[in-house]
Structure 1
């Protein structure tokens, strides 16, 4: 499958769009290997099977996925406009995700929309501390472009583009694996919520991603316990997804203590560690971690 995109500097939306198509050809081998042509030559563009981020046209039927035309290429219900990554993902994302629409939706939420917003000039986050800016995948991809004092020849730019594409493909593949794991874990988390004797304490039968399912659907939950490789973990439930403020911190006297010191403070012989941020503690056994959880629930700051 031959795909054309623009030459010159590259950005996260075109690179990630091509990363998605790379994974598509792996999922659907009959399409053949992906051949990428970086050009603005009209004849070369016309000869390609698909055109990404170039051509000023958005029409999946003709293989065109661009958003630079007058009026753009539309926006999502939440107002985030589509860039080329979003257009490609909307058309092929579910197929890249093995036919799972829920996985494709999650990828759009955690990765695609932020890339699209950056490319279409929409601010979706702002610094909370001075001028310190959060590093994003869009910044990371942009950093692959040659600097003024590096090899900016056509061959040098192509090497830089190929490196950026490999990087983006790896990120997208891991996000896919994570989304698939989260979807499969969601039913297990819901079952744990349903069987909890105390709605404030949720016990999982193994470590798994739980925040996205539990935080919005278990408003009374304060702590989660789960087995780790050789011990047991206790975690505080955050108030809001993606934030660090907990519904109920672990007791302040535990903060930053470990081993014998934590065991003395708690009376739990196999207590091993409590993070200074008071969001996580560890014990050597299930009985030990449940006793830590009982004390945390009873503690009044």
Structure 2
């Protein structure tokens, strides 16, 4: 167990570092990390009840070169959203050329492709368009490297797809059919439980935003852990092949 704990600590620390400087302040209609943001970009998502997909999407997009250290703005104000550099899970628009990544609008049927047919959530959309860059950065390889491509697909299959499916209400099982996707973490349910209860006496925006902050850290930490674990498995498989054929 000791090696596992040592392996996990840097992942958890990195997750905390991305968001630990974000203030928990604002109103129900607006939340921003502006006063401690390190980048010049602003990324919007909706306020109110949150889900795993936008929490993870907000975390992942800040791992990219384009949106590194971006300010996260939580609001449903359309006029404000129109001024932002990227908008996730709100706005009723999917347009990658303008970094608009909503999946709730009528007629949206985008999937990951490459054999995957699950309808995407905002997490899947960000991963589809920026996942290769994120994985390449973690592996310190070019995006076109075969190891990057292998890990890119593995992380989607074993982590992201379940979040997409859960957010879109897709059952994992049908009668007498194999499972439609892999769900090893049940992260969506755990993120959902971070929302303030309706019976809580404290219904302040501060509490809601603190919970969203926690959700981003939890989702991001598990994403980085899955990437690291998948990389480890890939390395072990490669070593086994080398030993087997020697």
Structure-1-length-normalised TM-score: 0.58
1:122 aligns with 2:170: yes
Deviation at 1:92, TM superposition (A): 0.4
Deviation at 1:16, TM superposition (A): 1.1
RMSD (CA atoms): 2.2
How has the CA–CA distance of structure 1 residues 107 and 32 changed in structure 2, closer, same or farther, with 3 Å as cutoff?
A: closer
Deviation at 1:32, TM superposition (A): 4.4
CA contact (8 A) 2:61 2:67 kept: no
CA contact (8 A) 1:66 1:73 kept: no
CA contact (8 A) 1:23 1:169 kept: no
State how far apart, in whole Å, the 1-side matches of 2:68 and 2:162 are: 30
CA deviation profile, 1:46-83 (whole Å, cap 9, x unmatched):
11110000111111111101111112242243321111
CA contact (8 A) 1:58 1:73 kept: no
State how far apart, in whole Å, the 1-side matches of 2:118 and 2:82 are: 29
What does residue 199 of structure 2 align with?
A: 149
> Which runs of structure 2 are paired with 1:15-94 in the superposition (5 Å)?
15-24=55-64, 28=65, 31-75=67-111, 76=113, 77-94=115-132
How has the CA–CA distance of structure 1 residues 126 and 138 changed in structure 2, closer, same or farther, with 3 Å as cutoff?
A: farther
What does residue 173 of structure 1 align with?
A: 224
Structure-2-length-normalised TM-score: 0.70
Selected match of 1:8 from 48, 70, 87: 48
CA contact (8 A) 1:22 1:169 kept: no
State how far apart, in whole Å, the 2-side matches of 1:135 and 1:61 are: 32
> Which runs of structure 2 are paired with 1:180-259 in the superposition (5 Å)?
180-194=231-245
More contact order relative to length (CA 8 Å, sep ≥ 6) = 2
CA contact (8 A) 1:73 1:83 kept: no
Selected match of 1:104 from 152, 164, 168: 152
What secondary structure is seen at the aligned counterpart in 2 of 1:109? Answer: helix
CA contact (8 A) 2:44 2:72 kept: yes
What secondary structure is seen at the aligned counterpart in 2 of 1:23? Answer: coil
Deviation at 1:17, TM superposition (A): 0.9
Deviation at 1:182, TM superposition (A): 2.1
What secondary structure is seen at the aligned counterpart in 2 of 1:96? Answer: helix
What secondary structure is seen at the aligned counterpart in 2 of 1:67? Answer: coil
CA contact (8 A) 1:65 1:88 kept: yes
What does residue 189 of structure 2 align with?
A: 139
> Which runs of structure 2 are paired with 1:251-290 in the superposition (5 Å)?
none
Deviation at 1:121, TM superposition (A): 1.0
What secondary structure is seen at the aligned counterpart in 2 of 1:51? Answer: strand
How has the CA–CA distance of structure 1 residues 21 and 38 changed in structure 2, closer, same or farther, with 3 Å as cutoff?
A: same
Deviation at 1:31, TM superposition (A): 4.2
What secondary structure is seen at the aligned counterpart in 2 of 1:80? Answer: strand
How has the CA–CA distance of structure 1 residues 122 and 82 changed in structure 2, closer, same or farther, with 3 Å as cutoff?
A: same
Structure with the larger helix share: 2
State how far apart, in whole Å, the 1-side matches of 2:174 and 2:56 are: 23
